[in-house]
Structure formats: C-alpha cells, structure tokens
Structure 1
Amino acid sequence: MTGGLGFNPVKGLEHLLGIWALRFLIAALVVTPLRDLTGINWFRYRRALGLLGFYYVLFHFTVYVVLDLRLDIHAVWADIVRRPYITIGMACLILLLPLAATSNGWSIRSLGPRWNTLHKLSYIILAGAVLHFVLARKSLTLEPATYIAIAAVLLGYRIVRKPLQKWRRPKRHNQPVRQT
C-alpha cells in the first residue's frame, strides 16, 4: 500500500525526493565535463536538469513541512535552528530560488554575463546538498561516500577546466609559409 516506502512512508517519500533532487543537481553539473572530455553535448538539457533538481528539492521540502511536520511553522523553525543539516538544506533551497527564477530565455538575455556569474551558485548548492545528505544519514557509508566523490570530482573539474582546455588545444605557431 505504501509502494515500498517502508514502515514510515512519509520519511521514505521525503528521502526518495531528496535523493532524486541530489541526482538531478549532479546531472546538471555533469553536462559541462561530459562535453569537454567526450564531445557529447547535452547543453540543451542542462537547464531542464537543473530545474528538475529544483522541483525535487521543493517537493522534498514540501513533504517535510506538510506531511512530516504538518505545517507547524514553529517546529520547522526549531529544526532549522537546532539541526545543522536542515540549516544547510534550507540555505541550499534559498540559493536555488534565484537560479530557478532566472532559468528562462528572457533572464539569460537581460542579465547577460551576470547570468553565468549567478548560476555559479550551483557549485555551492551541490556542495551544500551533499553535506546535507551526509549529515542527515549520520554515518559515512558507501552511498554518501559515492556522492561526496562525485561532487568532489565535478567541483574539482571546475578548478582545472581552463588549464586542461588550454593543454588539450593544439598549439598554432605563426610560421612563415615557404615559397618554392
């Protein structure tokens, strides 16, 4: 009857939505290294993946507030203040709001280069989301360690991306043309 969500279906649904939110956030950040390193270009899907991540975060939060805490705003606030992983999760949700609001063609055109700067918040959000997940699990098992490793590789790639691209580009030398 609970669809395999376990003895506490509300917590099961909450955790399932959170895991998928994390997966979509990771998938959105995989697009750039995938293109750079393999030539597979999924840029047209990156915005959709990011928005799916946002919607799943929103659903995750909604299940937590509505089904788990039954709209008790005082309990929500107490959890935010008392539990660091919920504080981090709320911060990530708040940081996602401007990204979701500006993930449309009009915003991209009107913000210009500032749009790219704003959307670099996704790196902080991914780090926070992984930390939220690990702290919520309360133990470092294979699954949280896997997400830590994936996030570390994706965020680390952003650091080495420009030097790596310069190294991979063929060097052109301005050599004079020989006339025979």
Structure 2
Amino acid sequence: MFVKLADHLNSGLRKVPVWLVYALGATLPFWYLYLGLTGGLGVEPIKALEHELGELGLQALILGLAVTPLRAITGVNLIRLRRAIGVLTFFYVAAHLLVWLVLDVQILSEIWKDILKRPYITVGMAAFILMTPMAITSNNWSVRKLGPRWRKLHKLVYPTAALGGIHYIMVGKTWEAESLIYMAVILMLLGWRVYDSRKKQRSRAIHQGNSARPA
C-alpha cells in the first residue's frame, strides 16, 4: 500500500515543473515582507521578519538534506527538485541576513562587532559562508567543470546544516522545544548519512573480496 502511495506521489511530482517550484518558493520572503509592512507580524515586525526568514531557510535546508533518506526509506523521489530546494534555501538565508544587515543593525560599523561579539551571529555567518560556494555552483556548467569535485564541494551541506541548527538554538537563548526538535531532525539525517556511507563501504568491500576469489 505504501509503495503504491509513493508511486502516486512520484508520478505527481514528475508533472511539477521545476520553474514552478522556484517561482512559488521565491514568493515566500515577499509574502513575509508584506505581512511585516501591513502589521501581520506583530509589534516587532523586523525581528519577526528576521526570525521567519531564518526559520524558513532552516526548514528548506532540512528538506534538502532529507531528499536522499526519504527516497531510500519511503521511495518518495524529490531528486529532480533538490537543486531548486538548495537554491531557495540560500535565497531564504540571504534574505534573512539582508534583513539583519539593512533593517536591524543598519549601522555598518556595528556589523563586524556583532559578528565577533555574539556567538550565535558568528555561527550563523559561518553557515552562510559554507553555503555560498554550493549556491554559486548549483548549475550544470559547474557540475561539468568540477566533475567529481562537485560532489565533494556539496558535502558542505552537512556542516552547514549542523551550524544552522546550532545557530537557531542559540538565537532563542533558552532551550526551546522547537529549536531542539529541528536540531534532533538534523542529527538524525546526518546520522543516517554516516550509517548509509558505512553500509555502502562494507558492501563494496564484500563485493571486491568476492571478485578477488579464484573461480
């Protein structure tokens, strides 16, 4: 039954144009901006906008990290949308950073001080820096140009996700359930990656051992 459901979902997902994912995904920050301008984000709209965009970026990052485990465990295949998810993740995080720079801090001389003085900002900036080369190389030309190095470069998503989860916890300044749940999901997804990698290594070792035996 679940296999049939996954097949139906995959059939529907294949009909979704990738450009539509980009278009719909790109509207979300503007929707939150509209809410902020019209009073829909409460009495501190800048802080709320900053928070919503940051959380949206973290959710998209987790979704991108979950694509491979989701296919392996459930059969639901989001691989053709993974690049769009990754680019949108960067867009959300860049918008989050822009709100902090332009609307929150405003004074340029204070930005570097905040990065150095506030650990949660330091961690967040580190995640953004790691994310940037992945966003820049999220195109077919880079895949062809970099070859096998492209996959190695995009493994930066793992430390990026960990830093993103830590940043979200630190922003709250208390042990909030929501931020801990996000971090737990990130750790589970990273743990699955480690498990899957070791499983494949064992499988290759067994296969090579069998191939080396004389007939």
CA deviations 1:113-145 (Å, max 9, x no partner) are 100000000000000000000001011121011
Aligned letter for 1:145? Answer: L
| Partner Cα separation in structure 2 for residue 7 and residue 93 of structure 1 | 28
> SS of 1:12's equivalent?
helix
Two-structure CA RMSD over aligned residues (Å): 1.9
Q: Which moved more, 1:158-167 or 1:91-100?
A: 158-167
Please state which structure has a larger fraction of its residues in helix: 2
Aligned equivalent of 1:149, options 184, 204, 213: 184
Q: 1:117 to 1:82 in 2, by over 3 A?
A: same
Q: Does structure 1 residue 35 correspond to structure 2 residue 106?
A: no
Length-normalised TM-score, structure 2: 0.75
Whether 1:69 aligns to 2:105 is yes
The residue matched to 2:76 in structure 1 has which SS?
A: coil
> For residue 46 of structure 1, what is the aligned residue in structure 2?
82
Per-residue deviation, 1:29: 0.6
Say whether 1:131 aligns with 2:197. Answer: no
Looking at structure 1, the residues matched to 154 and 197 of structure 2 have their Cα atoms a distance apart, in angstroms, of: 18
Q: Distance in 1 between matches of 2:90 and 2:60?
A: 8
Which residue does 2:15 correspond to in 1?
none
Cα displacement (A) at 1:6: 1.8
After TM superposition, the structure 1 = structure 2 runs for residues 38-117 of structure 1, keeping only pairs within 5 Å, are: 38-70=74-106, 72-117=107-152
Offset from partner CA, 1:127-165 (integer Å, 9 cap, x none): 000000000101112101101110010110111013445
- Match of residue 177 from structure 1: none
Q: Which runs of 5+ in 1 are unaligned?
A: 175-180
The C-alpha deviation readout for 1:14-72, integer Å capped at 9, x for no partner, is: 000000000000000100001111222110111111111100000000000001112x2
Match of 2:52 among 16, 26, 50: 16
* Gapped regions of structure 2 (runs ≥ 5): 1-37
Moved beyond 2 Å, runs of 4+:
162-168, 171-174
What is the distance in 2 between the residues matched to 1:92 and 1:166?
29
Pairwise CA distance, 1:83? 0.3
Given that 2:169 and 2:176 are in contact with CA atoms closer than 8 Å, whether structure 1 keeps it comes out as: no
Aligned to 2:19: none
Q: What amino acid sits opposite 1:2 in the alignment?
A: G
TM-score by length of 1: 0.89
Residues 1:162 and 2:185 aligned together: no
- For residues 197 and 139 of structure 2, the distance between their equivalents in structure 1, rounded to whole angstroms, comes to 27
Secondary structure of 2:163's aligned partner: helix
